[in-house]
Every structure is written in structure tokens, then in C-alpha cells.
A = this chain, B = another copy of it.
Amino acid sequence: MQKTKRLPLIEKILTETLISSQDELLRKLKSKGISCTQATLSRDLRQLGVSRVPDGSGGYRYSLAEKNASPAERETKLHIISVISGIVEAKGLLLVKTIPGNASATAFYIDNAGRKEIAGTIAGDDTILVIPHDGISRMQVHTCLEIILPGLHEKLKKS
């Protein structure tokens, strides 16, 4: 399944390059070894929350919401990612492990992302319990976290 590779790559491309159509993105992806159809991209972009904004000179560009985020916010995100040591699943819930003392800041960050997939979080000292809403699948939670904190899924401990 390509999606777990594709989404992060799309995010990366969008931050590094000026993309103005899905076909253009499609070609960029292919040149990096990932190929799919425009239909799939359309769905990916929606899932990633990517918006299409006028570029001010007659064209359009695709833009990650982050672009509008302040440098401080981007900083925070990187910090949060660096502080997470692993993810494990148990009882249909998700446990995010951080280095000691960082759980509550991380939980706060996740809460504030405002994703409707997540009902809430409970943080100890180095562990966060992420509670998904009813009807949200494990897969949806993963994708959701991947959107909030790209690259996170690589820290998933398989059971």
C-alpha cells in the first residue's frame, strides 16, 4: 500500500516546490518513484487538508495549511516530533511514548490540532493515551496522526 509513503512525500514536495495542478504533482511523484492516478491525488490532497490558493499572479498553487502557520508553530511541531520515542497500540487505543516529562506538552499539541477523529488524550509523564471517537478505525487514527505530525508512523512499534 503506497499511501503511507505517498502522503509524506506529497507534503515534502509541496513544501519544497511550487505546484499548481494535480497533474504537475503527479509527474513530480512519478519522478520520485511513486505513481498513482489523479483521482488518488485528489483524495490525498483532501485528506491532507491541502488547499488551492491564488498565487497573486494569475495562477494557483497548492498549499499545505502549515504555510500559513507561524515559524514558531513550525518549530514546535519539529520539537514535538523529536520528543516522541514510539507509538504502540493496545485495546484499540493508541499509546504515544515521549521522553520523560514531555507527555503533557505533546498531548496538548495533539488536542489542539482539532482533529475530529480524536475524542481526547490523557497524558502522564512520558506516555499519552489517545482516545479515538467511536466509529473511527485504527487506520483513520494513524492517518490522522500522520497528518498532524508527519513522519510519525515510522515510530510505530508493530505488535
Proximity string of chain A (91-110) to chain B, C-beta cutoff 8 Å, 1 when within and 0 when not: 00000000000000000000
Proximity string of chain A (55-74) to chain B, C-beta cutoff 8 Å, 1 when within and 0 when not: 01110100101001000000
B51 touches A46 (CB 8 A): no
**21 cross-chain CB contacts under 8 A:** A45-B54, A46-B54, A46-B58, A46-B60, A47-B54, A48-B54, A49-B53, A49-B54, A49-B56, A50-B54, A51-B51, A51-B52, A51-B53, A51-B54, A51-B63, A52-B52, A53-B65, A56-B115, A56-B116, A57-B116, A68-B68
Chain A residues in the interface with B (C-beta under 8 A): 45-54, 56-58, 60, 63, 65, 68, 115-116
